[in-house]
Amino acid sequence: MPDENTNKQPVIELDKLRIVFGKRPILQDIEGSLHGRCIGLLGPNGAGKTTLIHTLLGFHKPSSGTARIFGMDILTRARDIRTLIGYMPERDAFISNMNCVHFVRLMAELSGLPSEAALERAHEALFYVGLGEARYRELGTYSLGMKQMAKLAQSIVHGPRLICLDEPTNGLDPPARKRMLELIREIRDSGNSHIVFSSHLLRDVEECCDEVLILKDGRIAAICDLEEERRANRSFIEMETRNATPEFAEAIASLGCEYAVSGSQRFKLIMQDGMDVRNIYRIASERNVQIRKMNYKRDSLEDIFLKAMEQ
């Protein structure tokens, strides 16, 4: 069962966290609280995503500031935190001539499980990710997709409260990617673990995450509650016209639309609930305005990301 306190406190708190390598600042006094069940970590290459994960795991000591995971400070309770976290790295870190079940068992033991329990959980984790039939094969013989599943298995084998996944769909073909995302959603929906999902694939994050942290140049560009965005997200229309006049724009506004005009012939309209697009065609017909192009859409995570990058 999930810990009741988990929902009452932030999963991750960033408190003026700063990381400097040499003289180069990687993370620059970032602050914020994250509460999501599955937290997406986005940003261009070099934004600091992997450095942030490594800092939360205790690989890097903050140059200043700190962070807290489930209320525990990474500076003073690093050992306790490590027992609660599972980590799936972006790069492979296997012992190639070790068979998979023994490798996952070793990872479970390093996470604090007794040897016998670790072996039992290793078998369970490998069957869960679909490697049950191949669990006695050496890791060096695995395909890329199988290696990704093995990395997922070792990250969940000890039943962590927080799982950090760094590019989990990297290099996967479509069926393997679909299976990986299904497993991530299953783990999320079980309520037993929170997830930090770092990826450069916006669609994968949008499919799995309920909250997103966007980094740019080592700073926080945005923290977005995707569930709230989805509830509040209104549909809008992008429209290109010919012969539009100010009177046409005023008539559009009389429908209750919020609108913006680019030039004099391009419109972006925010649709109100219950509004029928046929009313726009009616107004255009009455005023001899030609609608040359119309796109009907909602804001996507890509729109949110691009806006954050532009700021």
Q: Is there a contact between 104 and 157 (Cβ–Cβ < 8 Å)? A: yes
Report the pLDDT value the prediction gives residue 169, as an integer from 0 to 100.
93
Report the pLDDT value the prediction gives residue 45, as an integer from 0 to 100.
87
Q: Are residues 216 and 282 in the same domain?
A: no
Q: Is there a contact between 160 and 125 (Cβ–Cβ < 8 Å)? A: no
Q: Are residues 114 and 32 in the same domain?
A: yes
Q: Are residues 132 and 224 in the same domain?
A: yes
What distances in angstroms separate CA 301 from CA 9, 63, 207, 224, one per listed residue? 26, 32, 10, 10
Confirm whether pTM is higher than 0.85: no
Q: Are residues 219 and 105 in the same domain?
A: yes
Report the pLDDT value the prediction gives residue 27, as an integer from 0 to 100.
94
Residue 167 belongs to domain with CATH number: 3.40.50.300
E strand residue ranges, 207-263: 211-216, 219-225, 236-242, 258-262
Q: Are residues 140 and 250 in the same domain?
A: no
Q: Indicate the number of domains in the chain.
A: 2
Report the pLDDT value the prediction gives residue 120, as an integer from 0 to 100.
97
Residue 299 belongs to domain with CATH number: 3.30.70.100
281: CB partners within 8 A, 6+ apart? 291
What are the structure tokens assigned to 128, written together? 């869960």
Question: What is the domain range of residue 21?
Answer: 4-230
What are the structure tokens assigned to 134, written together? 């191949």
Give the residue from 202, 230, 258 where a domain finishes. Answer: 230
Q: Are residues 156 and 262 in the same domain?
A: no
Q: Are residues 177 and 28 in the same domain?
A: yes
Report the pLDDT value the prediction gives residue 307, as an integer from 0 to 100.
76
Angle between helices 100-110 and 144-156 (to 10 degrees): 30
What are the structure tokens assigned to 97, written together? 């001539």
Report the pLDDT value the prediction gives residue 270, as an integer from 0 to 100.
76
Give the residue from 230, 264, 279 where a domain finishes. Answer: 230
Q: Are residues 47 and 166 in the same domain?
A: yes
Q: Are residues 87 and 187 in the same domain?
A: yes
- Residue 291 is classified by DSSP as E
Report the pLDDT value the prediction gives residue 301, as an integer from 0 to 100.
77
Give the residue from 188, 203, 230 where a domain finishes. Answer: 230
What are the structure tokens assigned to 204, written together? 């994968």
pLDDT by residue for the chain (311 residues), tens only, comes to 444 444 568 999 999 999 999 889 999 999 999 999 999 999 988 899 999 999 999 999 999 999 999 999 999 999 899 889 999 999 888 888 999 999 999 999 998 899 999 999 999 999 999 999 999 999 999 999 999 999 999 999 999 999 999 999 988 999 999 999 999 999 999 989 999 999 988 889 989 999 999 999 999 998 988 877 766 655 677 889 998 888 888 888 888 777 888 777 888 887 766 677 788 888 899 999 999 988 766 667 777 777 777 76
